[in-house]
Chain A
Amino acid sequence: MHCPLNGPRNISEFICYGEFHNHPDPDKTSDKDWAEYVWLANNAAGVVREWWCHTPTNYWFIAERNTVTDEILRTYPSEDLRPSEELRS
């Protein structure tokens, strides 16, 4: 995997922290919506956008990955994240 900070590193140095999603405001969210935020997942078969961490340097970043072909498509710092942008393969 290509780490935006450290360059290409062995995949065993990374931990996947799951799908990126927007954090709802706990004060303005119903119990049902909050439970959905906590438990439900899109678990898409295809291109996904996820949080990853390079554990030796504790550097967090975003990776776009295809969950069907097991390909890592793009990695970039979280500042460059555009959540509204369509995922492409």
Chain B
Amino acid sequence: MVLALLKYGLSRRYPVREEIPRTPDLKNHYDVVIIGGGGHGVSLAYHLATKHGITNIAILEKGYLGGGNTARNTTVIRSNYITSQSIKFYAASMRLYESLANELDYNLMYSRRGQLTLSHSDGVSRALRLRADSGTFLGERNEILDRQQIKELVPSLNLDIEGRPILKGLWHPDAATARHDAVAWGYAIRACDRGVELHQKTQVTGLTVDRNKVTEVQTNRGNVSAGAVVQCVAGHSSVVAAMAGLRLPIRSFPLQAMVTHPVKPFLNPMVSSTALHCYISQSARGELVIGGGSDPYELYNTRSTLDMKESLAASALEMFPFIGDLKILRQWAGITDMTPDYSPVMGRSPLDNYWLDAGWGTWGFKSTPASGFYLAQAMAEDRVPEMIQPFRLDRFDTFDLVNEMGATAASH
């Protein structure tokens, strides 16, 4: 042990292997340029490289790998949506997540906890029933629990919240959580293994559009040309799209979250309440992750505000009154790109070789495997698969919306 420590500690060749290669020089041309090195960008690169043999890819990331909104989400994986289009898509993403650690040979700390969504009124109980039945119809596991069953499932939950007693619950046993950083790292490592170039600290500053095509991508490290360009920049979708001369149906709001200091495990399922605009889960470290506070006006700033933290804490205390003495350890905000129907905008743009992966709102993490899988298929075959057709940008021209309002506890 001591000898081994000395041997490796003094060796110049240690660590043996850098899993993420250092940022190489930019080439003049790539088959595909991916703007944004977050979960979605590296997932897309991984799927293009492994499933379609396209490896001449540059991922341009203005900060560091997975350091944007990938690092800022609250890591819930679930499929209990409202419309059949969304349920099918997020179910596909859940299936990919289930086997992802094996596929990438990388520990994602994937943990199937189940999610309990609470109802405090008859109206919400009906909405939960709709979500349960829609999911069941498509083969997803969902059930409606009564108060007794909720009590057995989460004994620590306060069922008799004053003015808002808990009436029913939507139980989604296959919901899970995973480590967000590891998802980005795992995809990036395996994509780079196959020759994909990850360019960190490389900010896209402009796009040259000529004859309805993006011909050149300008960055702070030089310009590159590309066969196809795709934007995967959650939180800055409208800003990057504007460089290509596009306007999107997106408005960006911060979503605030926080964690408490760690305590012994007492909460296995993830608990969520749409009426209280709050969701809680306990991380593998024992911290309580409390999320769901959307700011009331548009902003590109990830500051935290006291009133939002107070309202999140108040809602959490309604559900679990005994956590009143816990201290808040960390707080943060991510920028959520909200669309009018709360569904993403992905697939073709009005430009010939420019693709979109945007508008994920509060659902970017759970869609990471499936968005990369299906967008890679669309780009490689130049044909948008049926699975993601409903999320096309021009659905707004025909008022063909995929309404998912209320499919989350985040307050928007």
Which residues of A are interface residues toward B (Cβ below 8 A)? 12, 15-16, 18, 31-32, 35-36, 38-45, 48, 50, 65, 67-70
* Alpha-carbon distance A76/B396, docked complex (angstroms): 33
Q: Which of B248, B251, B299, B399 lies in contact with A18, CB distance below 8 A?
A: B251
With A31-B397, A35-B397: A41-B247 Cβ-Cβ less than 8 Å:
yes
Contact digits for B229-248, partner A, Cβ 8 Å, 1 yes 0 no: 00000001011001000011
Q: Sort A-B residue pairs by CB-CB distance and give the 7 closest, nearest first.
A: A43-B238, A16-B297, A39-B249, A39-B396, A40-B247, A45-B300, A70-B301
- 27 example contacts (A-B, Cβ-Cβ < 8 A) are as follows A12-B307, A16-B297, A18-B298, A31-B397, A32-B397, A35-B398, A35-B399, A36-B247, A38-B396, A39-B396, A40-B248, A41-B248, A41-B249, A42-B238, A42-B247, A43-B251, A44-B239, A45-B236, A45-B238, A45-B239, A67-B252, A67-B298, A67-B299, A68-B300, A69-B301, A70-B299, A70-B303
Could you tell me if A67 and B300 are in contact, using CB atoms closer than 8 angstroms?
Answer: yes
- Given contacts A42-B242, A43-B250, list 12 more A-B pairs with CB under 8 A: A15-B296, A36-B247, A41-B248, A41-B251, A43-B239, A43-B248, A44-B238, A44-B242, A50-B297, A67-B252, A67-B298, A67-B300
CB distance from B398 to the nearest CB of A (A): 8
CB distance from A24 to the nearest CB of B (A): 15
Q: Is residue B406 contacting chain A, with contact meaning CB distance below 8 A? A: no
Q: Which of B250, B303, B397, B398 lies in contact with A41, CB distance below 8 A?
A: B250
With CB as the reference atom, state the residue of chain B lying closest to A15: B296
CB distance from B200 to the nearest CB of A (A): 22
With CB as the reference atom, state the residue of chain A lying closest to B248: A40
CB distance from A52 to the nearest CB of B (A): 8
Q: In B275-298, which residues have CB < 8 Å from any A CB?
A: 296-298
* Alpha-carbon distance A32/B396, docked complex (angstroms): 9
CB distance from A56 to the nearest CB of B (A): 16
Q: Is residue B385 contacting chain A, with contact meaning CB distance below 8 A? A: no
With CB as the reference atom, state the residue of chain B lying closest to A36: B247
* Alpha-carbon distance A16/B251, docked complex (angstroms): 12
Q: Which of B236, B252, B300, B340 lies in contact with A39, CB distance below 8 A?
A: B340
* Alpha-carbon distance A37/B251, docked complex (angstroms): 14
With CB as the reference atom, state the residue of chain A lying closest to B301: A70
Q: Which of A40, A65, A67 lies in contact with B249, CB distance below 8 A?
A: A40
B399: chain A residues at CB < 8 Å are 35
* Alpha-carbon distance A44/B296, docked complex (angstroms): 17
With CB as the reference atom, state the residue of chain A lying closest to B238: A43
Q: In B246-262, which residues have CB < 8 Å from any A CB?
A: 247-252
CB distance from A25 to the nearest CB of B (A): 19
A31: chain B residues at CB < 8 Å are 397
* Alpha-carbon distance A70/B256, docked complex (angstroms): 15
* Alpha-carbon distance A45/B239, docked complex (angstroms): 7
A69: chain B residues at CB < 8 Å are 301
* Alpha-carbon distance A41/B359, docked complex (angstroms): 12
A36: chain B residues at CB < 8 Å are 247
* Alpha-carbon distance A77/B297, docked complex (angstroms): 20
Could you tell me if B307 and A67 are in contact, using CB atoms closer than 8 angstroms?
Answer: no
B396: chain A residues at CB < 8 Å are 35, 38-40
* Alpha-carbon distance A68/B303, docked complex (angstroms): 10
With CB as the reference atom, state the residue of chain B lying closest to A17: B297
Could you tell me if B298 and A68 are in contact, using CB atoms closer than 8 angstroms?
Answer: no
With CB as the reference atom, state the residue of chain B lying closest to A32: B397
* Alpha-carbon distance A42/B307, docked complex (angstroms): 28
A68: chain B residues at CB < 8 Å are 300-301
CB distance from A43 to the nearest CB of B (A): 4
Q: Which of B236, B242, B299, B396 has the most CB of A within 10 A?
A: B299
CB distance from A31 to the nearest CB of B (A): 7
* Alpha-carbon distance A48/B299, docked complex (angstroms): 10
CB distance from A18 to the nearest CB of B (A): 7
CB distance from A62 to the nearest CB of B (A): 14
* Alpha-carbon distance A36/B297, docked complex (angstroms): 21
Q: Which of B242, B251, B300, B396 has the most CB of A within 10 A?
A: B300
* Alpha-carbon distance A18/B307, docked complex (angstroms): 21
Q: In B299-328, which residues have CB < 8 Å from any A CB?
A: 299-301, 303, 307
CB distance from A15 to the nearest CB of B (A): 7
* Alpha-carbon distance A30/B58, docked complex (angstroms): 40
* Alpha-carbon distance A31/B303, docked complex (angstroms): 39
